[in-house]
């Protein structure tokens, strides 16, 4: 069975790289992106099973990026994280347009994130002969 692919997105390089390394150690195939625009490009190229993204980023917020990803990767799961209060309004606006997302508080404890990913059951099926 191949490893689930996860794209970690945060404009703070240290956070994206650290979460990516932690998830790799937990058995996932990971990559990091440092902006919403770059995340869109990477998602088109790599077809991740899950995107874990910060919400507040300078070029494109994580919610807008997630909505665009769902247009071309509808099966990709998306998990948002944020430490800013303004996120609540963005989530309400997205929900009003029919886009529901789960939000984790930032800072995200690695054990909490790994437990959440286990609950999402990201296992990839074996290819059929």
Contacting residues for 10 by C-beta, under 8 A, at least 6 apart: 16, 19, 32, 34, 53, 54, 57
Weakest mean pLDDT among 13-17, 52-56, 95-99? 95-99
Q: Which domains does the chain have, with CATH numbers?
A: 5-120 (3.40.50.2300)
Across-strand partners of 32?
A: 8
pLDDT value for 88: 77
In angstroms, the CA 45 to CA 36 distance is: 14
Percent of the chain with pLDDT over 70: 91
**pLDDT value for 119:** 83
pLDDT in tens, 25-72: 999 999 999 999 999 999 999 999 999 999 999 999 999 999 999 999
Distances (CA, A) of 36 to 26, 54, 115: 25, 9, 25
Is pLDDT at 114 greater than 90 in this prediction? no
94 touches 67 (CB < 8 A): yes
């Amino acid at each position: 069975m191949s490893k689930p692919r996860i794209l970690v997105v945060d404009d703070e390089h240290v956070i994206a790289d650290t979460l990516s390394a932690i998830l790799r150690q937990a058995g996932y195939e990971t990559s990091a992106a440092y902006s919403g625009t770059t995340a869109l490009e990477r998602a088109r190229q790599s077809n991740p099973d899950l995107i874990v993204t910060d919400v507040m980023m300078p070029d494109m917020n994580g919610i807008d990026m997630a909505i665009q990803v769902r247009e071309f990767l509808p099966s990709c799961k998306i998990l948002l994280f944020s430490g800013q209060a303004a996120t609540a309004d963005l989530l309400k606006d997205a929900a009003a347009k029919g886009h529901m997302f789960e939000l984790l508080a930032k800072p995200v404890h690695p054990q909490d994130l790994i437990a959440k990913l286990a609950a999402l059951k990201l296992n990839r099926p074996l290819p059929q002969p």
